[in-house]
């Protein structure tokens, strides 16, 4: 479809996909690719290899693919780059990318292709239009960049501002702004959150390189006709602005830790703080970290097994540690049989994230009535702390 005069979306809707390297995608995926018909035919971003023939079929509706002269590679992760070898075979275009991207493409695909290496501020005239390139290393890979179509004010922002959702709607308003922001939030929490400090620099980067988009066209999901809505949301998320929310996350072997989780959640919600409860073996981690993003308090509980935290929770803690959520109040709660370990493992992760730790609780075997009361009181204490600061 034409998203602007002579600029076409030639991407893929991957409706059935439910897993993006362990990121549960409840509504599927998109791989966005854009075709610009100008004096020099240009494609911006590729698609996953299994769909490249579909992409080429879409390009054929508008132009002979052999006429593609430039392929802009904003990012080399295989969801965007694994179809590129096929484009190279058909069109032998010049691949326009950062130095790091060239190195990565050579390593991934033994790419003996024509390359044009660009740096921030470089421009490429493709006819009546000009493409300006802006390197955005570690947003979210070292090779990442954005491409700004100067005269049209279209920003091809690669993964940044994207959403994992497959829908026939191509624009934010058509999907519904609220829904588009929701999927962007899920995406941000699971992919972009560790790079919050770079996100905070986006306004300055835009100003420096004269980027004032009327459209933001990411490499996943819908296109933003309301760029301010998504850029302002990104800044809010990058500042870890919290709501009056708490999240209780747990795993359990024989329901002891589960009883503590429910009692703590009851205590928190009795203070009026919105509380969600997740089980790491039953709920998608992508959903859990989305809730953590703007929650003020996070309580994590698990049993001890062989002197360590219960393995499924260990996996979740590793995921959480990598995503680096900040500005939280944390509390651990655990059950054990004859030796502890889980409590220490959980607190260690919370400390590494710089969270304010509230002393939690551990119980042996089953929680007694008195211990359940302590768990409820812990929840009340956490709820009051949230209300003090949010
Ligand atoms: Fe959509 Fe980082 O790849």
The one-digit pLDDT tens for each residue of the chain (390 residues) are: 999 999 999 999 999 999 999 999 999 999 999 999 999 999 999 999 999 999 999 999 999 999 999 999 999 999 999 999 999 999 999 999 999 999 999 999 999 999 999 999 999 999 999 999 999 999 999 999 999 999 999 999 999 999 999 999 999 999 999 999 999 999 999 999 999 999 999 999 999 999 999 999 999 999 999 999 999 999 999 999 999 999 999 999 999 999 999 999 999 999 999 999 999 999 999 999 999 999 999 999 999 999 999 999 999 999 999 999 999 999 999 999 999 899 999 999 999 999 999 999 999 999 999 999 999 999 999 999 999 999
140 Cα to the center of ligand 1, angstroms: 8
Token representation of residue 77? 């992760």
Domains in the chain, start-ordered, CATH in brackets?
2-238 (3.60.15.10), 246-385 (3.40.50.360)
- Give residue ranges with CB within 6 A of ligand 1: 75, 77, 79-80, 140, 159, 219-220
Sign of the Cα pseudo-torsion (187, 193, 198, 203, in order): positive
249 φ/ψ angles, rounded to the nearest 5 degrees: -125, 135
Please give the pLDDT value at position 200: 98
Indicate which atom in ligand 1 lies nearest the CA of residue 158: 1
328 Cα to the center of ligand 1, angstroms: 28
Q: Residue written as tokens 């990598």?
A: 322
For the chain, the three-class secondary structure string (H helix, E strand, C coil) is: CEEECCEEECCEEECCCCEECCEECCCCEEECCEEECCCCEEEECCCCHHHHHHHHHHHHCCCCHHHEEEEECCCCCHHHHCCHHHHHHHHCCEEEECHHHHHHHHHHHCCCCEEEECCCCCEEECCCCEEEEEECCCCCCCCCEEEEECCCCEEEEECCCCCCCCCCCCEHHHHCHHHHHHHHHHHHHHHHHHHHHHHCCHHHHHHHCCCCCCEEEECCCCEECCHHHHHHHHHHHHCCCCCCEEEEEECCCCCHHHHHHHHHHHHHHCCCCEEEEEECCCCCHHHHHHHHHCCCEEEEEEEEECCEECHHHHHHHHHHHHHCCCCCEEEEEEEECCCCCHHHHHHHHHHHCCCEEEEEEEEECCCCHHHHHHHHHHHHHHHHHHHHHC
Please give the pLDDT value at position 356: 98
For this structure, is 187 an active site residue?
yes
64 Cα to the center of ligand 1, angstroms: 27
Indicate which atom in ligand 1 lies nearest the CA of residue 159: 1
User: Residue of the nearest CA to atom 1 in ligand 1?
Assistant: 159
Please give the pLDDT value at position 147: 98
Please give the pLDDT value at position 390: 95
Sheet arrangement for strand 145-149:
123-125, 130-135, 145-149, 154-158, 215-218
- Helices 311-323 and 342-352 pack at an angle, to 10 degrees, of 10
pTM: 0.97
CA distances from 262 to 131, 224, 265, 272 (A): 54, 40, 5, 16
């Amino acid at each position: 479809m034409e998203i602007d005069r002579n600029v076409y979306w030639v991407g893929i809707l991957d409706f059935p996909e439910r897993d993006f390297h362990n990121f549960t995608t409840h509504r599927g995926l998109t791989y966005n690719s854009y075709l610009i018909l100008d004096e020099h035919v240009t494609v911006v971003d590729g698609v996953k290899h299994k769909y490249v023939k579909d992409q080429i079929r879409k390009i054929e509706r508008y132009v002979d693919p052999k006429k593609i002269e430039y392929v802009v590679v904003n990012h080399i992760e295989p969801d965007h780059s694994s179809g590129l070898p096929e484009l190279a075979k058909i069109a032998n275009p010049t691949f326009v990318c950062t130095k790091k991207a060239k190195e990565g493409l050579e390593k991934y695909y033994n790419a003996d292709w024509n390359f044009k290496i660009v740096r921030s501020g470089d421009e490429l005239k493709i006819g009546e239009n000009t493409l300006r390139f802006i390197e955005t290393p570690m947003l979210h890979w070292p090779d990442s960049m954005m491409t700004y179509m100067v005269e049209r004010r279209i920003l091809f922002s690669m993964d940044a501002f994207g959403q994992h959702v497959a829908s026939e709607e191509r624009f934010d308003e058509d999907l519904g702004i609220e829904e588009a922001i929701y999927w962007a939030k899920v995406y941000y929490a699971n992919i972009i959150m560790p790079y919050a400090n770079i996100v905070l620099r986006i306004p300055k980067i835009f100003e420096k390189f004269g980027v004032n988009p009327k459209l933001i066209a990411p490499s996943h999901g819908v296109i933003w006709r309301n760029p301010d809505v998504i850029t302002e949301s990104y800044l809010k998320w990058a500042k870890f602005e919290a709501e009056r929310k708490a999240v209780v996350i747990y795993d359990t072997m024989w329901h002891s830790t589960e009883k503590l989780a429910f009692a703590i959640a009851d205590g928190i919600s009795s203070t009026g703080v919105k509380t969600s409860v997740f089980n790491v073996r039953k709920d998608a981690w992508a959903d859990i970290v989305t809730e953590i993003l703007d929650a003020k308090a996070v309580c994590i509980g698990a049993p001890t097994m062989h002197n360590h935290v219960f393995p499924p929770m260990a996996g979740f803690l590793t995921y959480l540690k990598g995503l680096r959520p900040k500005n939280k109040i944390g509390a651990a709660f655990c059950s054990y049989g004859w030796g502890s370990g889980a409590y220490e493992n959980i607190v260690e992760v919370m400390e590494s994230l710089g969270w304010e730790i509230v002393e939690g609780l551990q119980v042996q075997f089953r929680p007694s009535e008195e211990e359940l009361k302590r768990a409820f009181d812990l929840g009340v204490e956490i709820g009051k702390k949230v209300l003090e600061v949010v």
